[in-house]
Structure 1
Amino acid sequence: MRNSLYLKLALSAVTKNRRFYLPYLITCIFSVAMFYDLSFIADNKGLPEMSGGDILKLYMSFGVIIIGIFACVFLFYTNSFLIKNRKKELGVYNILGLTKGNIACVLSYETIISAVITLFVGLIIGIIFSKLMLLLLCAILKMPSGIVFSVSPKSVAITALFFAVIYLFTLIYNLISVKISKPIELLNSGKSGEREPKANWLIAALGLISLCGGYYIALKVNDPMSAVLLFFLAVLLVIFGTYALFISGSIAVLKLLRKNKGYYYKPRHFTAISGMLYRMKQNAAGLAGICILSTMVLVTVSSTVCLYAGVKDMVNDRQQKSIGISYKSDEMLTQSDSVIQSVSNAVAESGVNIKDAVYFNYLSVTAERHGTVYSYVNKNTTSAADLAVTVAMPESDYARITGKQSHLKDNEALYTLGKATADYKELTVFEEKYSVKSADDIPMADIFKAYTTPVIFFVVSDSRLSSIYENQAEYFGIGKSPYEWYYTFDLDGSIEQNTAAANKISSALSSLGEGFGTESRDSMLDEFYKAYGGLFFIGIFLGLMFVGFTALIIYYKQIFEGSDDRKRYQIMQKIGMSHKEVEKSVNSQVLKVFFLPLTAAVIHLAFAFRMIKQILSVFNCNNVPLFLICVAVTTAVFAAVYFAIYYFTAKIYQKIVRV
């Protein structure tokens, strides 16, 4: 056969099957454009020159990899829908005299046509929108647009090569699928899946156990580090459990309902259960995929939105005042006048004034906590869940700051737990027993607000603090904790003036020797916006991609459901059911099938809430009400989008079944 005939057949096939091809091509174009835009930003020459540009480059490169992986998986998945729908047509070609080699040529031309269209249009759209993506990124990062806009030949080449490889492998899959099929199998492929499904109780039981195991891990995790370490295990268990329960568990439950004769032999239940059995047989894997995708959308978007929206709260927890200065040494800094004077001079040069200044010494030592006993950490036996931080300050500094004279003995202490509460009378700290009283005005509690590990704050006599230091230095050796001196205050200038003052302070302190560190709240806010703004940008990208793939899967399922249900409509009407009864029965089944994934996704998110909250605290995000709002709003918006997708595709479904 001539190549021109292959091309005509391929063009005819794409045009004739546009109802199937168009959404597939749109999704491919969408994926190409997104892949190019992230690749372009990651490779942009202006990125490394920005403050925080290195971490942004890392985020964008990570986003390119994630989008590439999911694009590959779901383009293969949607291609399987296409080839399944085309098998009968290909069987007709074979019966009419085309050899499998001829069919392979037609499929090759179809793949080339699809690749050329999606790559050309996708790259054009990606290039056009890359400027908008840059502006959006700069707006999210709250910075002027300093990134260079241009067309990136490297990104174009990477995008074209990556998707060309995907198309090549989908073509190989299609050719193998046709090669191993017999003509009669191709012709009858549209009728496959009509046999009654079998319930695999073992898979259903394993799925239930796996899902419960994932939920148990998510609910029982007690500390942020454990949450991070166990998150992917919980995710894998939930994914396996979801697929197993959709594929086997749903069939098992429906068959149990069918065995209940009193329930099953009612017209409404009879048709619903029988219809659902076949729907779940044909659609279980796809519905499980929709459920997992929906969960990814909810988790990714709600988490990244919460991180970005909570930046100011995070910074305020870490740095309550404009400037924080720390000094670490093996000796307590008791003569700090010269340091304070150097700082004051640097601030005065910047034209701003110091307000509400506070300074004090303290000693911070990580401990193993069991109830009211705080002991030295044993690296071989201590688990992350048992870790706590003990922070002690001398009574002399407490008295100077608060004006209160406590006259503490060596076995007495004041304490506070910061955000937590407890009424202790006696505590054992590093093998020493203390009679303790609660005190809410210990100033150093504020600088540890962002800690994810539990912290207990003490005020002890000056001599006792020296004893604690010496004992822990002897125990830990080179890994001992140093004394720390902290000086914090507000500035009354603008952001620019305060930033300039912070820079002058850093320069002044560096001339005094090593051990000094300076943190500026304004600089920290800028860094956090860059770090979490980049995550937010990636989260929105991934959320849009997951929504797009979800919409495509739902669309294909509605089309295939419509094709199958058209025959069921006719059969049910022939056995005596009215058109209204048939429509009510089928619509009820379709609604249950397509909203089951969304319901399951919301349940997954509810069980994951505690674990995600713990993980967010690793990023210093401890605002639980804000996270709850982000989850609720994200769920509501996604549910509305999901319903809109269903409503649109349901109209197509209705047109098919009524033909």
Structure 2
Amino acid sequence: MIRKLAFAGLHRRWADYLVLFSGLSIGAAIFYMFAALATNEKFLKANINVGSVTQVFVFGLILLTLITIVYVGYAQSFLLGMRYKDYGVFLTFGAKPRKISQMIMLETFAVQLGSTVIGLFLGMGLTKIASQWLAIQIHLPLTGLNVFQLPAVIITISLFVLLAICSTVVSQIIVRTKPLQSILKANQLTNHSDQNFKLKIFESITGLVLLIIGFTALFKIEVLQLAAIPVALVTISGGTYLVVHSVFSVIINWLKKRNFSYRGLRLFTLGQLQFRIENYTRVLSMVTILFALALGAIVVGIGYHRQIPIMSSYSSAYSMNITNPTKATDKIIAKMDLVKNVSYAQISDQKHIYLNQDQLRKQPLEAVVVPKAEHQLSQPHYKKIAAHKLVGRTVENRNLMLMESPALRGKQIVILPTKQFNQLAGTKSTLQLIRVRNLNQSFSKLKQLERYSSSTAAKQGYEITNSYEMFVISNTLFGGLEFIGLFLGIAFLTMLASCLMFKVLSGTQIDRNRYQMMMKIGVSIKQLKRAVAYEIGVLFVIPGAAGILYVGLGLQVFKKLMVNPYDQWWWAVLGFSICYGIYYLLTVKLYQRLVIQTNQTGGDKHGV
């Protein structure tokens, strides 16, 4: 009988349970995706050239575990809110509390364990897709990637089983200890907040002081080193909580006293926010920190992705140097987007390399102009090199010799007029130099040309001779940071938005009564939907705006690791905000369907 009642509840509210099931599946998938990399030490050390990469992923996994606990807690609140009244009715008709406890256990395990299994398979697919996509974007070949990581499977299942048990026990205690009348009216209760103005001012000042301490610790990370991270995390988290809790309620009270609030349903919307201020302070503070971490990780990842090719371009004026090009190289080069393609005829003997003076005058060699500002990032500019500077012990001579084939290095350069040059006897060769418009876009073609290069630093043991070689080396050194940043950002974005979404949806059972009352007094569906959009919009904007501010301050930490961490970072903010906005629209649609559309029939029935 208990089983039938439990599954009858699932069947009757299948749409609500589908939201819950899919949300938990995504949570399990993201957790497994992260755990699969965090537990694959060989993969991390083989592909990411960062000494503390394992510790970074383990720290991220611990943080993600805490987020998952909160996430599952909100999901369980959503489930319990849907079934509160049903449990009360069953108890009214004589059901024993023990039977209700069994029903709670059955429903909780059916939803959470079922979603965990689906999430594991989804996570394996996401691990492969996300890792390979990121590897392609940053030109980082991955070795040792294993989508099925047994330790990650065990950790994921263990965590979600433990959370299912805890959720069941907590829900059972709540139902068994509450009076029957409280259970029947649980969805009619509201939260009230203390409006002591002096206390709010004290909270605001304390919160600001904690934020100042936290960001100062980040700015002094060179002095404090690793100690700066926990100090910043604790103080910024605490400061965020106090500022949101105090400022948010003060602003609402201030708005309620202005004429602004008496237009449309604004007063109702402000009242909705006021009712839940205490509960939302915690989740908004957490989402703000996660928003900053996720956005910061993506900004840094994209920053490296954009800056690596530009920084590499400063190493040489040419992307590739080829001695004695062939039809094969010509065929590859013909398909490339070039901004410079020059060839120089050469004649060499045992001690000298002879160059054509007229050829150098018509198409002079070029060098990169070093920018005056240390942190000014832009595409490099080039200057022409006078032919006489190529002779003797000069920087220009050294750079040219590096682009020659190993057999010609160490010989003296002699520049002759065309007539004398043509009369020389010796070994003839051609040096071709090319510069591509974009190293990222031309990477695959340059890789094909690499085998024909005059010299490759990695193979010959010589210094870097062209910007392509620097690009490859930079990707090896910093590509791991790109990977970590983008991977962390995607994982945290998904979890933070899902947490906020479920926190909002967990209040639908209480809000149904309020919206139904508004419909009975003649408020239109359109007005209510607009009110929902405004209310949820405020809840999404607060952590978003604060998170962007935190990232703007936190990027100071990366000034020593990046040329310019702020270079076009707004593009990353825009992309991140679009993804965040999609979650907002999804939350609004789900909330409207659960709260308003389900009451439309009821409203019509009552003559509204």
Q: Does 1:277 align with 2:271?
A: yes
Query: What pairs up with 1:294-305 in 2 under 5 angstroms?
Result: 296-297=290-291, 299-305=293-299
Match in the other structure for 1:164: 161
- Structure 2 CA distance, aligned partners of 1:227 and 1:624? 23
* TM-score of the pair, normalised by structure 1: 0.61
Match in the other structure for 1:9: 5
Cα 1:159–1:648 change in 2 (3 A) is: closer
Correspondence for 2:494 among 544, 548, 555: 544
Query: What pairs up with 1:85-164 in 2 under 5 angstroms?
Result: 85-149=82-146, 151-164=148-161
SS in 2 for 1:28: helix
Match in the other structure for 1:597: 539
- Structure 2 CA distance, aligned partners of 1:199 and 1:24? 34
- Structure 1 CA distance, aligned partners of 2:28 and 2:166? 17
The offset of 1:239, in angstroms, is 4.3
1:288–1:597 contact (8 Å) kept in structure 2 = no
Q: Does 1:534 align with 2:484?
A: yes
Q: Does 1:212 align with 2:215?
A: no
- Structure 1 CA distance, aligned partners of 2:250 and 2:78? 26
The offset of 1:315, in angstroms, is 7.6
The offset of 1:529, in angstroms, is 0.9
Q: Does 1:77 align with 2:19?
A: no
CA deviations over 1:83-121 (Å, ceiling 9, x no partner): 244333222222222222221111121222123311222
* TM-score of the pair, normalised by structure 2: 0.66
Q: Which consecutive residues of structure 1, in runs of 5 or more, have no partner in the other structure?
A: 324-352, 354-415, 422-486, 508-518
- Structure 2 CA distance, aligned partners of 1:604 and 1:253? 15
Correspondence for 2:302 among 295, 298, 308: 308
The offset of 1:163, in angstroms, is 1.0
Cα 1:240–1:566 change in 2 (3 A) is: farther
The offset of 1:140, in angstroms, is 4.2
- Structure 1 CA distance, aligned partners of 2:22 and 2:563? 37
Cα 1:560–1:231 change in 2 (3 A) is: farther
Correspondence for 1:34 among 20, 30, 55: 30
SS in 2 for 1:624: coil
Match in the other structure for 1:646: 588
Query: Which AA in structure 2 matches 1:307?
Result: G
Cα 1:292–1:193 change in 2 (3 A) is: same
Match in the other structure for 1:607: 549
Q: Which consecutive residues of structure 2, in runs of 5 or more, have no partner in the other structure?
A: 318-352, 354-370, 377-397, 406-448, 464-468, 603-608
CA deviations over 1:111-168 (Å, ceiling 9, x no partner): 2212331122222323344433442343245234533546333332222112111111
The offset of 1:29, in angstroms, is 1.1
Q: Aligned residue pairs: how many?
A: 479
Query: Which AA in structure 2 matches 1:419?
Result: E
Query: What pairs up with 1:389-468 in 2 under 5 angstroms?
Result: 419=374
1:302–1:627 contact (8 Å) kept in structure 2 = no
Query: What pairs up with 1:456-535 in 2 under 5 angstroms?
Result: 491=403, 500-502=456-458, 504-505=460-461, 522-535=472-485
1:563–1:656 contact (8 Å) kept in structure 2 = no
- Structure 1 CA distance, aligned partners of 2:454 and 2:471? 9
- Structure 1 CA distance, aligned partners of 2:593 and 2:458? 62
1:59–1:535 contact (8 Å) kept in structure 2 = no
- Structure 2 CA distance, aligned partners of 1:256 and 1:98? 49
- Structure 1 CA distance, aligned partners of 2:250 and 2:470? 61
- Structure 2 CA distance, aligned partners of 1:141 and 1:116? 36
CA deviations over 1:583-607 (Å, ceiling 9, x no partner): 64x5564344222233323431453
Cα 1:84–1:555 change in 2 (3 A) is: closer
Query: Which AA in structure 2 matches 1:33?
Result: A
Match in the other structure for 2:569: 627
Q: Does 1:24 align with 2:20?
A: yes
Shifted more, 243-252 versus 556-565: the winner is 243-252
1:204–1:249 contact (8 Å) kept in structure 2 = yes
Correspondence for 1:183 among 180, 187, 190: 180
- Structure 2 CA distance, aligned partners of 1:199 and 1:126? 45
- Structure 1 CA distance, aligned partners of 2:224 and 2:511? 40
The offset of 1:275, in angstroms, is 5.8
Query: Which AA in structure 1 matches 2:22?
Result: I
Match in the other structure for 1:617: 559
Shifted more, 289-298 versus 14-23: the winner is 289-298
- Structure 2 CA distance, aligned partners of 1:18 and 1:207? 43
The offset of 1:37, in angstroms, is 2.7
CA deviations over 1:473-495 (Å, ceiling 9, x no partner): xxxxxxxxxxxxxx989646865
Q: Does 1:554 align with 2:504?
A: yes
Query: Which AA in structure 2 matches 1:601?
Result: P
Cα 1:88–1:589 change in 2 (3 A) is: same
Cα 1:607–1:145 change in 2 (3 A) is: closer
Cα 1:89–1:255 change in 2 (3 A) is: same
SS in 2 for 1:625: coil
Cα 1:35–1:206 change in 2 (3 A) is: same
Match in the other structure for 1:67: 64
Query: Which AA in structure 2 matches 1:22?
Result: L
- Structure 2 CA distance, aligned partners of 1:620 and 1:317? 10
- Structure 2 CA distance, aligned partners of 1:609 and 1:44? 29
- Structure 2 CA distance, aligned partners of 1:109 and 1:185? 23
Query: Which AA in structure 1 matches 2:457?
Result: A
- Structure 1 CA distance, aligned partners of 2:275 and 2:149? 47
1:297–1:546 contact (8 Å) kept in structure 2 = yes
Taking every aligned residue pair, what percent have the same amino acid on both sides? 13
- Structure 1 CA distance, aligned partners of 2:154 and 2:76? 24
SS in 1 for 2:497: helix
- Structure 2 CA distance, aligned partners of 1:33 and 1:564? 35
2:501–2:583 contact (8 Å) kept in structure 1 = no
- Structure 1 CA distance, aligned partners of 2:404 and 2:507? 62
The offset of 1:200, in angstroms, is 3.6
SS in 2 for 1:98: coil
CA deviations over 1:504-558 (Å, ceiling 9, x no partner): 5489xxxxxxxxxxx9663233221123223322222222222233333334445
Match in the other structure for 2:197: 201
- Structure 2 CA distance, aligned partners of 1:636 and 1:193? 33
